[in-house]
Amino acid sequence: MTFCRDILPAVCLSPRTGSLIVVDGSSPDDTTAGSLNRRSEGRRRHHLETVAVIAGRPEHPGEPLNPPMVPASNYRMDPLIGTTDDEPGHDHTSPAPSSSQRLYSRGDNNPTWEALETAMAALEGGGASLAFSSGMAAISAVLSGLDSGATVLAPADCYQGVAGLLEEGSRRHGWIIHWIPTDDTDSWLEAMAKPPDLAWLESPSNPMMLVADLPTICRRAIDLGVFTAVDGTFATPLLQQPLDLGATVSIHSATKFIGGHSDLLGGLVTTRRPDVAERLRRHQTLHGATMGTLEAFLALRGLRTLPLRLERAQASALELARRLQQHDKVTAVHYPGLTSDPGHERARRTMGGPGAMISFQTVGDGPGLDRAMSKLSLIVTATSLGGVETTAERRARLAGQEHIPQTLIRLSVGCEHVDDLWHDLTEMLDPLADIV
């Protein structure tokens, strides 16, 4: 299986600060290839796997190797700062201040989540990253930029929380939502003929695993000046780089693969547009949508091992998808790593790998499948995803997900041995027709 590694940038980090300097011919503040080459002189270029390990670390002798958890809301203030015109105090609603101006975490950031934001920005190829209290808090912050009557293009099968927020916006603020199948590129381009205020994309989509043609849609959006947001939670920043493809913001629920241990809630938004970063920071401050200190610490720790976890989980996912395809109780497998999958070619062109999420459908009906799932002894029946443990869920059980095929199981493949996972799946699948 060869997926496109070319879209994954070689990232250049400052040896001193650990922050991103150059990415694949583009940078937040310096976009000419010539100057980028100059800026990269004398610096090492790293793969994303390395960036995940090193970005956002303390850098001075005597400091701990890893950013410590700083459970602080309040900071010692210099009474002289802000008293003269040339030393203005920090306005709590503008972008993060220098540490000497830090007064209060909600407005001035906290060193622990700053380290996570630095690491995430480096992984996303530059710009500013903001840590929120959950994926939905991050998504709300992005959507809060929409005025009354705004027009939004959104995937017909997007994550139900986003669909809920958009429907609420439609009721309360008169937003006009056009729902478009994730993988129907022509419809996305047609709908942009009258430029919307926002094109919201999610790829691969949850739970149908449809792959959007991000390069084509983002290119058209750039031409038309359309704000594009890409939720890449399933892909992780290692497998998909929406900002390099032209997206305005890239969003991840850190609750999932980034955290990786099912023990935190968090969300991350990254953008290379300073005006967008400033608006998001202002929203975060005024709405109090900041990440907890413990959560930021855990999310950064999770990020360090994301490449290893993902490599293992993705290899197992591919193997399981192939075996599921051969199983006589399985009627469909949705996984872009399979050559037969409609999204395979597109994913091969635009992603670094197909990821660790699989959806599959079985014979029988919903209640029969629920009974069969109770036979799982290793795989955990649970709604969330992206942890080291493999989880499975029959999505149509959830309120609001009745449109999903009744016998569709979404599997988040973790780090257990693939043969043990397969054994568990066969214990569920083999007797299926008998217990329906």
**Contact footprint for ligand PLP (CB under 6 A):** 134-136, 159, 161, 202, 206, 231, 233, 253, 255, 265, 267
Q: Between 135 and 352, whose beta carbon lies closer to ligand PLP?
A: 135
- Shortest distance, position 212 Cβ to ligand PLP, whole Å: 13
- Shortest distance, position 306 Cβ to ligand PLP, whole Å: 16
Query: CA–CA separation, 206 vs 168, rounded Å?
Result: 20
**Has 375 been annotated as catalytic?**
no
Q: CA-based Rg of the chain, rounded to a whole angstrom? A: 22
Query: CA–CA separation, 436 vs 370, rounded Å?
Result: 9
Would you list the DSSP string of 88-143? PPPPTTSS---GGG--BHHHH--HHHHHHHHHHHHHTTSSEEEEESSHHHHHHHHH
Q: Between 11 and 289, whose beta carbon lies closer to ligand PLP?
A: 289
**Has 106 been annotated as catalytic?**
yes
Residues in the chain: 436
**Has 329 been annotated as catalytic?**
no
Q: Between 27 and 262, whose beta carbon lies closer to ligand PLP?
A: 262
Both tokens of residue 232? Answer: 């890449």
Q: Which of 24, 159, 309, 394 is catalytic?
A: 159
Q: Give the burial string for 353-382 (b: 16+ CB within 10 Å, else e).
A: bbbbbbbbbbbbebebbeebbebbeebbee
Q: Between 12 and 131, whose beta carbon lies closer to ligand PLP?
A: 131
Q: Which of 57, 102, 220, 256 is catalytic?
A: 256
Q: Between 50 and 160, whose beta carbon lies closer to ligand PLP?
A: 160
> Among candidates 60, 29, 22, 65, which has minimal Cα distance to 44?
22
- Shortest distance, position 398 Cβ to ligand PLP, whole Å: 11
> Among candidates 352, 388, 350, which has minimal Cα distance to 48?
352
- DSSP assignment letter at 396: G
Pairing state between β 128-132 and 267-271: antiparallel
Q: Which of 231, 244, 341, 424 is catalytic?
A: 231
> Which residue's CB comes closest to ligand PLP?
135
- Shortest distance, position 135 Cβ to ligand PLP, whole Å: 2
- Shortest distance, position 355 Cβ to ligand PLP, whole Å: 12
Q: Which of 106, 219, 273, 397 is catalytic?
A: 106
**Has 231 been annotated as catalytic?**
yes
- Shortest distance, position 323 Cβ to ligand PLP, whole Å: 25
Tokens 């009906």 locate to 365
Q: Between 27 and 206, whose beta carbon lies closer to ligand PLP?
A: 206
Catalytic residues: 106, 159, 231, 256
